Amino acid sequence: MKRTILGSVAALALSAGALWAENVAVITPYLAQPGTQAYVEGFQAQAAKSGWTVNVIDTAGDVAAVIARIEDAVTQKVNAIVINVDPAQVAAGLQVAKDAGIPVIGMDAGSDPLLATNVTSNGYAMAAETSVYVANRIGGKGNVVMFVFDAFPPVQARGVIADAVFANHPDIKVLDRVTPDVQDGGIADSRAKMEAILAANPEPGSIAAVWAAWDQPALGALQAIEAAGRQGEGIVITGIDANPQAREAIAAGGNFEASVAQDFAGIGAAAADAAGRVMKGETIKEPVIYVSTVMVTAVNAAQ
Amino acid sequence: MNFRSFSTALRQWGTFLGLLAIVVFFAWRLPETFPTAQNFLNISQQISMLAVAAFTMTIVMVMNDFDLSVGSTASLAGIVAAVLFAAGQPVWVGVTAALAVGVLGGVFNGFLVAYIGILPFIATLGTLTMFSGAAFMISDGKTIFGRDIPTEFAGFARFGIPLDAIGLEGAKLPLMTLAAVVVLLMVWLLLEQTTFGRRLYAIGGNRVAAELAGINTRRLRLMAFGLTGLGAAVAGLMYASRVASANPTQGAGLMLDAIAAVFLGMTMGREGEPRVLATLVGVLILGILDNGLTQMNVDSYVREILIGAIVVSAVAISAFGQRRG
Amino acid sequence: MQTLCFQGLTKAYGGVPALSDVTLTLSAGRVHALMGENGAGKSTLIKLIAGVVAADRMTVTRDGKTLPLRTAAEATKAGFRFIHQELNIVPQLSVAENVLLGHPAPRRFGMFIDWRRMQDKAAAALASLGAEHIDVRQQAGALATGDKMLTRIASALVAEAGAAEPCLYVFDEPTAALTASESTKLFDVIARLKAQGAAVLYVSHRMNEVLQICDDVTVLRDGRHVLTTEIAKTTRVEIIAAMTGKPVSDAIPARTTPVGQGVACRVTALDTRDLSGLNLSLAEGEILGVAGLDESSQTAFLRLILGQGRIQKGGLEVLNGPAPTSPEQAWARGIAYVPRERRSQGLMLGMGVRPNALFPHLVDYGLLADKRAEVARTRGLADQVRLRFQGTEQPVGQLSGGNQQKVLFARAIAKNPKLLLLEEPTRGVDVGARAEIHGLIRALSTQGSAVILASSDLVELLGLSDRILILQGGRQMAVLDRQAMTPADLLARIYASEAA
């Protein structure tokens, strides 16, 4: 991964940043996560076209350090700052940047008045796509198991949409609304919960579909169904995010039929575009810029 | 001054000279932005949480013990305060409860170490997990933020004392910095100027001998761990105020940095013993490196490698010097 | 081999001479004592002939032929074996593994350790020391101190293939950690080695041992050779004069005042986990010696009075009150303690003389430290114990053994203790310091302090004590009046109790 233009020990020997180029700091506590890496790569690719100097700073999970690094970037007088963290938590740093007149762009960060704008995927739309897919595939009737997680706001929003879609079909019954324990990543506990539900509903056809608010419970449910030998009943499973493991399962053509992929690189690129606009002096009116998502099914899962 | 005392002095002051070298280097590379009053004030605020955790960590390390649980104690304290805020309790209740949790957690560590006789490494590794689990349990794993956090609590980390009077127009001495300085003074008084602190050093010098010389080592260890827990809770509250939120893992990074800072400081002790003013040098080295290297656009991962390498080489040089001196 | 000659031994550290042109000639079948006060150059000499420190100048000849000796490997190859004061055994390993530690283990198929042969080899080495009673399969940590010593010596006896037969054994303060009876066993071993025709170099502070087992003696002072003579042709006084450079008597000051009237400590039918059937009382100003073959019950007795340990049965009355329940309480009530192992149990070696002397008494200087008062008090105490040091902040680790012991005494006498508990107060201490410590103990007793003195040094016990308690396996075997007893009598009583 090409990380920064000057990002190496060599920078110790060179002077700090080139004065003629636009200097942008990308600050995140979550660089170790695959999604964040994709955002940053997309951002860097776009930034390279414009010839910017990009400094990517990972604080390894430490949110207070994000504030510290924003302050440092302000001291260093960068032209713009991009963050990938909840803006409410780093408001102290955002205020410093605002006072110094340095714009901050959110990259899937959450919206906040202190941000010039936030670039993200539309979580409501993603949930609508998969829940409508489920409703259509089961012909608008049957029992559906939902896996949700209301403690985390972005995922909670997905559950609300799916509730609304299923409620709009009188013949669809939500059999259970499960919140799995996510300490171990969510797969193992989701599988255990699904096994219990399968045991409680032994009749073939008594479960028509499993809708999961993200991929891990969908994978857990798939494992439970296969372990119970009930993969032939046509239970439809959907997830959201389309992580590599989910894509593999979808490509295999089993019960796990669909997920929605966020365009991480696209978000990164769009954040770079937004940064370019604000650095030219434009005020972006919309507080959130949505980047479109892609439905992943057996047809395109291998891509 | 003969050769031996010269080399001893060099070893003792080596780490401090290293700090000066780092400051001079950044001032030379970043003449516009690094050596400014505002930047130094920024650094002081950035390191304030680590400083409090490291200063109070010094208290147990003086006895040759250490406490791996400070990070999760900090997280737990932040969560306890935030949960009480969310339940509508006033700020003082949340803060008091959080501090009490820190003291209790520390005393529990001290009980395991001093009375049950479990090695500190194992005891505090266990409580690290317990406290972290408790933080997750109390918060349901959620980050508590937004309207749940009172503005006067979050405000603590935003405000400062204006320094216009001493000619720094518009600059403020952050309250966080002030808090760290107060903790530093208190720990220094406690360790260097009281009977209590001298006895902790005696325990560190030789625990068996201290016990036989009539020092109640168990009670003192219990109390020392309690103070470290209290310090961790203070650091956790400062962190929560800084990010205006509480998350069950947010203090996790404090522990290793605090231990690293004390170790850096220990290279300055005559016999390799921790001193709180030396810990301050360690904290400053870590904080200034972070600040300066960020400003120089050095890659975060390279920065981590550099910081680790500096800690290891300082300790190695000191160990080498001690063997020869 | 007939003679081994080390000539012109010279070594300086950083320009400071530690050893200047010393010559030492050792003969086969003779035990040669090396004596001198701390800092006289004994350890440097041993390091040079062990090849662990490079000499500035040194010529070694064996029966007239030059012997290369620049590294530890060459010393081993020449047949030199070293037995140090510290018992370097690995407690987790078996005796057999400890005996063969540092030697290639016998193997099967070149891969797996041949345990049977290893055990046979170790057993043979132990047998040559007359220590057949040690089970080579047992964990070494479980051995008694004396058996650990034998294990260590056996390890020195094991010959590597190709190495010369041992021709020189160097014992460096071997009895420092041994009880009287263990020492006796060691002397048997040395006699055996001597009979086998090896030369033995024996380094010790203990005059009696040297007079008893050595044939020749060499005395060093300030890194220079002072005296070499046959033991038979010299006297205790001459050796001491050679070591100190001035005539010092090692006679122990006798009691000049009568024992007091009050009772300092009364023990009635006392049982604890480690002790049983203790019955005695100690008067103010009285010195009670404690002798016996196992150190651990002596330590248990003294520590019980210090407030460590739990009374199961019987009564213990200390200084007209109940027994203290913690060392903290004991010190507060005027009980002072000098532990057996000054380095591991007594001192904070990295810290200065001042804190070391004052730790039990810090509260007297207030909650906040009063450095000036502490320094003044430390200087006063240092004068009292005749401490030779560079300043109150000098780390005690830099002091000689005798001066370290004096720091412990300074700590103990700082508040005129009413009851003084001493374990091995002169172990590893040079002659001058030993005499000064004996003077101190006598002076405290004269002032009315009761003293309990546990020691393996029979001369010291007989010289100072009014009565002697013999403990064996935690049981009180006898309380003897020391009058008209000789060391031989006392030893006989100690052994009698072992047989019982």
> CA-CA distance, C460 to A240, in Å (whole number)?
87
Run of H or E including C249: none
pLDDT band at A18 (very low <50, low <70, confident <90, very high): very low
Residues of C in contact with B215 (CB under 8 A): 327-328, 359-360
pLDDT digits (tens, 9 = 90+) for C53-67: 888 899 999 988 888
CA distance linking residue A111 with residue A119, whole number of Å = 9
- Percent of chain A's residues with pLDDT above 70: 92
Flag whether pLDDT at C498 surpasses 80: no
What is the span of the domain harbouring residue B227? 39-251
- Taking the C-alpha atoms of residue A278 and residue A271, their distance in angstroms, rounded to an integer, is 11
CB-CB: which of B4, B209, B216 is closest to C328?
B216
CA distance A87 to A28: 11
Percent of the residues in chain C that have a pLDDT greater than 70, as a whole number: 95
Cα–Cα distance between B72 and B137 in angstroms, integer? 13
* CB-based contact, C14 to chain B, within 8 Å: yes
Query: Can you give chain B as a three-state secondary structure string?
Result: CCHHHHHHHHHHHHHHHHHHHHHHHHHHHCCCCCCCHHHHHHHHHHCHHHHHHHHHHHHHHCCCCCCCCHHHHHHHHHHHHHHHHHCCCCHHHHHHHHHHHHHHHHHHHHHHHHHHCCCHHHHHHHHHHHHHHHHHHHHCCCCEEHHHCCHHHHHCCCCEEECHHHCCCCCEEEHHHHHHHHHHHHHHHHHHHEHHHHHHHHHHHCHHHHHHCCCCHHHHHHHHHHHHHHHHHHHHHHHHHHHCEECCCCCHHHHHHHHHHHHHHHCCCCCCCCCHHHHHHHHHHHHHHHHHHHHCCCCHHHHHHHHHHHHHHHHHHHHHHHHHC
* Spatial contact of C130 and C192, defined as CB atoms under 8 Å apart: yes
Compute the mean pLDDT over every residue in chain C, rounded to the nearest whole number.
86
Tokens for C38? 């701390």
Partner residue facing A16 (CB), from B30, B140, B158: B30
CA distance linking residue A268 with residue A274, whole number of Å: 10
Lowest mean pLDDT among A6-10, B18-22, C231-235: A6-10
pLDDT class of B6 with cuts at 50, 70, 90: low
Same domain, yes or no: C351 and C421: yes
Residue C87, pLDDT score? 59
pLDDT digits (tens, 9 = 90+) for A63-93: 899 999 999 999 999 999 999 988 888 999 9
Which of B62, B206, B324 is the best substitution to test chain C (most C C-beta atoms within 10 A)? B206
The residue among C178, C209, C244 that closes a domain is C244
Cβ atoms of B245 and B223 within 8 Å: the answer is no
- The stretch A198-208 carries a mean pLDDT of 92
Q: Mention every residue, 6+ apart, whose C-beta is less than 8 A from residue C477.
A: C292, C470, C471, C493, C497, C500
Return the structure tokens found at C251: 């006679």
Name the minimum distance, in Å, from the CA of C327 to any CA of chain B.
4
Query: Which amino acid is located at C95 in the chain?
Result: V
C113, C84: one domain: yes
If one counts the domains in chain C, the total is 2
pLDDT above 70 (res A199):
yes
Alpha-helical (H) ranges within C59-215 are 72-77, 95-99, 115-127, 145-157, 180-195, 207-213
Residue B25 lies in a domain: no
Do C and A touch (≥3 CB pairs < 8 Å)?
A: no
In a domain, B280, yes or no: no
Q: What is the pLDDT of residue A8?
A: 41
pLDDT digits (tens, 9 = 90+) for A141-151: 999 999 998 87
C350–B271 C-beta distance less than 8 A: yes
Residue C101 belongs to domain with CATH number? 3.40.50.300
C488 pLDDT more than 60 = yes
What one-letter code names the amino acid at C4? L
CA distance to A133, A241, C251, C440, C473, per residue, from C291 (Å): 93, 81, 20, 21, 12
pLDDT tens for residues C208-244?
888 889 999 999 988 899 989 999 998 888 888 888 7
pLDDT, tens digit (0-9, with 9 covering 90-100), for B70-111:
999 999 999 999 999 999 999 999 999 999 999 999 999 999
Question: Tokens 């003013």 — which residue?
Answer: B277
Q: Determine the average pLDDT of the residues in A46-66.
A: 91
* Residue among C360, C365, C369 minimizing CB distance to B213: C360
Amino acid at C244: T
pLDDT at A5 over 50: no
- The rounded mean pLDDT for chain A is 88
Facing B296 at nearest CB: one of A11, A60, A68: A11
Q: How many CB atoms lie within 10 A of CB C262?
A: 12
Report the percentage of chain C scoring pLDDT > 90: 36
Task: Report whether A65 contacts A29 (CB < 8 A).
Answer: yes
Place of tokens 């995927």: A121
Q: Which residues of B touch C393 (CB under 8 A)?
A: none
Last residue within a domain, chosen from C178, C211, C244: C244
- What's the domain count of chain B? 1
Testing the interface with B: which of C340, C351, C363, C415 to mutate, by most B Cβ within 10 A? C351
**What digits encode the pLDDT tens for the residues C321-362?**
999 999 999 999 999 999 998 888 999 998 999 999 998 888
- B194: which chain C residues are within 8 Å (Cβ-Cβ)? 367-369
- Selecting from B196, B214, B271 the residue whose C-beta is nearest the C-beta of C328 gives B214
Asked, for residue B193, whether it belongs to a domain, the answer is: yes
Among candidate residues C193, C211, C244, the one where a domain is terminated: C244
Flag whether pLDDT at C277 surpasses 50: yes
Distance of CA A9 to the CA centre of its chain: 32
> What's the confidence (pLDDT) of residue A2?
40
CA C210/CA C316 separation, integer angstroms: 40
Measured between alpha carbons, how far is B227 from B221 in angstroms, rounded to an integer?
10
Q: Does B213 touch chain C (CB under 8 A)?
A: yes
Strands C335-338 and C321-322: unpaired
C272–chain B nearest CA distance, Å: 19
A19 confidence band (pLDDT: 50, 70, 90)? very low
What band does C497 get if pLDDT is binned at 50, 70 and 90? low
pLDDT at res. B45: 93
Query: Which CATH class name applies to A10-115+263-291?
Result: alpha beta
C162: left (phi over 0), alpha (psi -120 to 50) or beta: left
User: pLDDT for C73-105, tens place per residue?
Assistant: 888 888 888 887 665 778 888 888 888 887 777
Q: What is the ipTM of this complex?
A: 0.85
Tell me what the pLDDT averaged over chain B comes to.
90
Q: Which residue in this structure is represented by tokens 């007088």?
A: A77
From B273, which residue of chain C is nearest by alpha-carbon distance?
Answer: C350
Q: How confident is the model at residue C382 (pLDDT cuts 50, 70, 90)?
A: very high
Contact B243 A63 (CB under 8 A): yes
More confident residue, A41 or C76: A41
Its CATH class, for the domain covering A123-261, is alpha beta
Which 8-state DSSP code applies to residue A152? S
Is C342:B209 a contact under the CB 8 Å cutoff? no
Task: Write out the residue range of the structural domain in which residue C111 sits.
Answer: 3-244
Contacting residues of A for B40, CB less than 8 Å apart? none
* Pair (C278, C233) in one structural domain: no
Does C374 share its domain with C401?
yes
Mean pLDDT of A196-206: 92
* In a domain? residue C143: yes
Nearest residue of B to residue C397, measured between CA atoms = B271
Cross-chain Cβ contact C306/B271 below 8 Å: no
Q: Residue B2: which pLDDT band, with cuts at 50, 70 and 90?
A: low
What is the number of other CB atoms lying within 10 angstroms of the CB of residue B166?
A: 9
State whether B242 and A31 contact (CB < 8 Å): no
In chain A, how many H helices and how many E strands? 10, 12
How many contacts, defined by CB atoms under 8 Å, are there between A and B? Answer: 120
C255 assigned to some structural domain: no
Q: Which range has the top average pLDDT, B18-32, B290-304, C171-185, C426-440?
A: B18-32
DSSP percent split of chain A into helix, strand, coil, nearest 5: 40, 20, 40
Tokens 């405290």 -> residue: C444
Q: Phi/psi at C138 (nearest 5 deg)?
A: -75, 155
Q: Do B206 and C344 touch (CB under 8 A)?
A: yes
Chain C 326-355, CB below 8 Å of chain B: which residues? 326-328, 330-332, 337, 339, 344-351, 355
Question: Looking at chain A, which residues constitute the CATH 3.40.50.2300 domain(s)?
Answer: 10-115+263-291, 123-261
Cβ atoms < 10 Å from Cβ of B31: 11
C253 inside domain:
no
Across the interface, do A58 and B301 touch by the CB < 8 Å criterion?
yes
Tokens of C84: 């140090």
Would the CB atoms of C348 and B209 count as touching at under 8 Å?
yes
Strand partners, C469: C290, C479
Contact B290 A65 (CB under 8 A): yes
Q: Is the CB of B199 less than 8 angstroms away from the CB of C362? A: yes
Residue with tokens 């780490």: B15
